[in-house]
Amino acid sequence: MPDELLERLQRFTSEAFPTQRSLFRHLVDDGQHPLTLFIGCSDSRLVPYLLTGAGPGELFLVRNVGAFVPPYDQSQGFHGTAAAIEFAVLNLDVKRIVVCGHSHCGAIRALYGEVPAAAQNLARWLELGREAALPVAEPGAEVLRRTEQRAIILQLERLMDYPMVRERVEAGRLTLHGWHYVIEDGEVHVFDVSQRGFVPASRAENAGTGPYQPFWPGPSGDGAAGLDASGVPAGA
């Protein structure tokens, strides 16, 4: 039986790599300088490079079940996502952090069901989305969509608890972006605080402002203060 994975590896070296050899050489000599930290769900249908048209060296990626951001609790455990956030912000000095959830997310659906008893780590991890869940037993498509979007806002808010993130956002050196990728439509909906909801990228005026944009000239002039996960409107 042919080893399909091995064949793919061989094809990369013989066919794909030669077309980008000089780019990789440059990225080795000059190091990586990605401007974006992309926190995405692990779902196989979410392909950050396709969505953004990014190439090598452009995205610093961290992916996990649900695209969740753990709390900055200083418990000093083996916190992979937190470590990636710290590295991206403090070492790489990224200018944007994208939190990208998506339609038909299994992590979000699992908030309304049960996970296998043996999946203790998964059960605990899903608690990071619990606040986004709505009080219904049998969620329909609309409830799931809203929960997916609320979970994204929740993670953006949690990012602001990281001192190095908050400091840079407040100084205007870092922006936060909430994205909801609708797989079946092939379109990302970006959270736009001035619209108080998610807007399809085709109609959006920017790539998402996050819930905290101190320079947003809102109607009351007070920016996005007060908008939280519960403030995400239905639909969008």
Residues near Zn ion (CB under 5 A) are 41, 43, 105, 107
How would you class 87 by CB atoms within 10 Å of its CB: exposed for 0-12, middle for 13-18, buried for 19 or more? middle
Q: In this complex, which beta carbon is closest to Zn ion, that of residue 82 or of residue 105?
A: 105
Rounded least distance, CB 43 to Zn ion, Å: 4
Q: In this complex, which beta carbon is closest to Zn ion, that of residue 67 or of residue 176?
A: 67
Q: In this complex, which beta carbon is closest to Zn ion, that of residue 41 or of residue 174?
A: 41
State how far the alpha carbon of 73 is from the alpha carbons of 38, 77, 166, in Å: 21, 10, 15
Separation of alpha carbons 186 and 4, rounded Å: 28
Rounded least distance, CB 66 to Zn ion, Å: 6
Alpha helices in the chain (DSSP H): 4-11, 17-19, 21-30, 48-52, 80-86, 106-110, 120-126, 141-159, 163-170
Rounded least distance, CB 189 to Zn ion, Å: 15
| Token code pair at residue 132 | 């986004």
Rounded least distance, CB 126 to Zn ion, Å: 11
Q: In this complex, which beta carbon is closest to Zn ion, that of residue 105 or of residue 188?
A: 105
